[in-house]
Structure 1
């Protein structure tokens, strides 16, 4: 299994990178996870629009799904149009995004598979086990597993014991770490710190951690140092183009 980072900031893109987005590859399958703002160009640098087999969206905030729309538009306007792309997302989370274009333009470009967080299903060779985690809107963290390899992904989440189970013995934990040490009081309970990520990654026995969704302008070194206090395994910060090979 291989993970390619397409972006790694939260809230909005910066001049240097887009929001979170990840390409998970295993066997002959390519699954796009949370294509946030400004990740589509990074995706196109690595694969044509018909090179994606499915999309997984953890929740409906645009920094996690906005660039699904240009992907679908490109597939719909291709000559000939590409086959419908399976899109997996919590109920209602993509309604507004899928409705912003001309009526009917992208309708044939996707097959929407809505699931309630807690569901388990398959995407090609990947087994996906989802878990409801605390956020402003329903957020589905996920464990992607195949052939004994596990990638755990939090989406956006506040503190929860469910994070430990989500990350249990994962080969890679992709974890939202918006702030290094302290969550903005207006967002308390709905987002995490790098310090918290380090603590629950250690409890879970995760073998490697990728910190992502850093607030724009956050010093990656500060996030790394905060996580390091609780976690001594392999640790890095999401940057576009980073490839993690878990083979």
Structure 2
């Protein structure tokens, strides 16, 4: 089976009627990783895999549009019809305390570790999950935030998370088969925490990526406009991460 990515949603900063916030399912053979758990993504995730069969969750940063559905996943894992050991959860420093702070409603701290086996990310972190290697790099988003490169069977897919253009992301994406890059900022001026579509094209070009897919497109841009603007800075194929679509690396 190819290394593939299914778009569960990519809206920012809140879901639209037909587009949840940021979330993706990365698959290779029998390995399944939920990459970002933005608002509304737990529902479409279950079209493609059961929570029982999920191998890991990877979270780029703790803004709600990338992590809020961890809260409902917690209830599913502990108090519903799901029976399994804690799901390996890779996320930014402080993720356990953030979850517990929201979920605790009495004098006893909610047992988030009973639902999630939590590993805090750092720049250069590597994890083998099933048939995949996940390599994490710190990126520039004004809070602890990370991008990730997923490799399996000689193919690679790199996800920017939310970030301004930065050397760490360019290095992480070097020679990647697919760069999934956010393009939230509409303005053609420097943004300290996000890419514009032009920036996404520039990062893909600098990294020598084989293909660019823009995602997390801001609400003042259409997907078609974002693709056209990214193409002005990158000569390779450019696509849009349409909700419900699946792409392969290779």
Tell me by how many angstroms 1:206 deviates: 0.8
Alignment-derived partner of residue 133 in structure 1: 139
Determine if the alignment matches structure 1 residue 27 to structure 2 residue 29: yes
TM-score, structure 2 as length reference? 0.91
Alignment-derived partner of residue 13 in structure 1: 15
Contact 1:76 1:82 (C-alpha < 8 Å) held by counterparts = no
Alignment-derived partner of residue 76 in structure 1: 78
Alignment-derived partner of residue 111 in structure 1: 117
Determine if the alignment matches structure 1 residue 239 to structure 2 residue 242: yes
Tell me by how many angstroms 1:246 deviates: 2.7
Contact 1:76 1:105 (C-alpha < 8 Å) held by counterparts = no
| C-alpha RMSD of matched pairs (Å) | 1.8
Contact 2:93 2:144 (C-alpha < 8 Å) held by counterparts = no
From the superposition, tell whether residues 121 and 131 of structure 1 become closer, same or farther in structure 2 (CA, over 3 Å): same
From the superposition, tell whether residues 88 and 80 of structure 1 become closer, same or farther in structure 2 (CA, over 3 Å): closer
Aligned residues: 244
Alignment-derived partner of residue 149 in structure 2: 143
Contact 2:22 2:65 (C-alpha < 8 Å) held by counterparts = yes
Structure 2 residue runs without a partner (length 5+): none
TM-score, structure 1 as length reference? 0.92
Mapping of 1:48-197 within 5 angstroms? 48-79=50-81, 81-102=83-104, 103-104=109-110, 106-182=112-188, 188-197=191-200
Distance 1:150 1:30 in 2: 15
Distance 1:233 1:78 in 2: 46
From the superposition, tell whether residues 11 and 79 of structure 1 become closer, same or farther in structure 2 (CA, over 3 Å): closer
From the superposition, tell whether residues 94 and 236 of structure 1 become closer, same or farther in structure 2 (CA, over 3 Å): farther
